[in-house]
Amino acid sequence: MLTIGAFAQIGQVTHRMLRHWDAAGLLVPAHTDPFTGYRSYDPSQLDRLHRIMALRQLGFGIEDIASLLADGVNTHQLTRMLGRRRTEVQQEHRIAEARLADVERRLHLIEKEKNMSTIEIVTKSLPAVRLAARTATVKEQPQIAGVVGPAFDGIAAIIGDFCGALETPIAAYSMVEDGTEVTAGYEYSGQPREGFEIVTLPAEDEAFVTVHLGSMSTIH
């Protein structure tokens, strides 16, 4: 029999990991002293230990490893689980690549500008949103302010009595053939009313998002 220390040293694992696998029923000691609680392992258990370590290195979790060892590692099951693990690793790789690209971009900006940017841009998904809104098309950029402000004021006068209706003002801009289409209004779950239209902005899987603190005159 091997003490937990000797077994851990031969298997190149920690005592903590062996205790964790014992608690999970993955690698139970051959003997546990009922008085001291000391664990002892049979040398033949090194084979199971090596199998666990090999599967852990492939990224399998405790439950998957327990299933594989309980049923026996057959080719069909291992192939299916490795295929699933490959998909997970590919996703992790894409995320890591995106993070690396972001780090490189920030380093480039710092080296170029010699200071930290005060604007943080993050990517995230946006849910669809239902608006009580007014829509207009303007030919030139300076005309936008004259559309957005009155649209917000006009709609607020109509739905101001609806609980929470004015908490989320939203303005959306789209380039069209005649200029810029402006949609301005509030997130709204109530019934249609005269004086505005119901507009649903679609969900976006990926959006570049930042936060501007200050007046509209400094939003550039």
| The two three-digit tokens of residue 67, written as one number | 């299933």
What pTM was estimated for this model as a whole? Answer: 0.49
DSSP letters for 4-63: HHHHHHHHT--HHHHHHHHHTTSS--SEE-TTT--EEE-GGGHHHHHHHHHHHHTT--HH
| pLDDT for res 135 | 95
CATH of residue 45:
1.10.1660.10
Nearest to 14 by CA among 65, 49, 59: 49
How many domains, in total, are found in the chain?
Answer: 3
Residues 135 and 201 in one domain: yes
Q: Are 139 and 179 in contact (CB under 8 A)?
A: yes
Query: Helices 4-11 and 46-57 sit at what angle, rounded to 10 degrees?
Result: 50
Q: What is the pLDDT along the chain (220 residues), one digit of tens a residue?
A: 888 989 989 888 999 999 999 998 889 999 998 888 889 999 999 988 988 888 888 888 888 888 888 876 677 777 888 888 889 889 999 999 988 988 888 788 788 877 666 677 888 999 999 999 999 999 888 888 889 999 999 999 999 988 888 999 999 999 998 899 999 999 999 999 999 999 999 999 999 888 877 776 776 6
Residues 132 and 192 in one domain: yes
Residues 98 and 164 in one domain: no
Domain housing 150? 123-218
Residues 60 and 78 in one domain: no
Residues 81 and 100 in one domain: yes
Residues 80 and 145 in one domain: no
- Which of 42, 57, 73 is the C-terminal boundary of a domain? 73
Residues 131 and 207 in one domain: yes
Q: What is the rounded CA–CA span in Å between residue 71 and residue 65?
A: 10
Residues 164 and 92 in one domain: no
Nearest to 52 by CA among 41, 63, 42: 63
Q: What is the rounded CA–CA span in Å between residue 71 and residue 172?
A: 56
Residues 202 and 127 in one domain: yes
| pLDDT for res 152 | 94
| pLDDT for res 128 | 95
The count of other CB atoms within 10 Å of the CB of residue 165 is 19
Residues contacting residue 89 through CB under 8 Å, at least 6 positions apart: 59
Q: Write out the H or E segment, with its range, that includes residue 203.
A: none
Residues 68 and 21 in one domain: yes
Nearest to 211 by CA among 144, 138, 122: 122
Residues 135 and 55 in one domain: no
- Which of 117, 139, 174 is the C-terminal boundary of a domain? 117
| pLDDT for res 219 | 66
Residues 98 and 169 in one domain: no
* DSSP state letter for 72: -
Nearest to 151 by CA among 179, 123, 173: 173
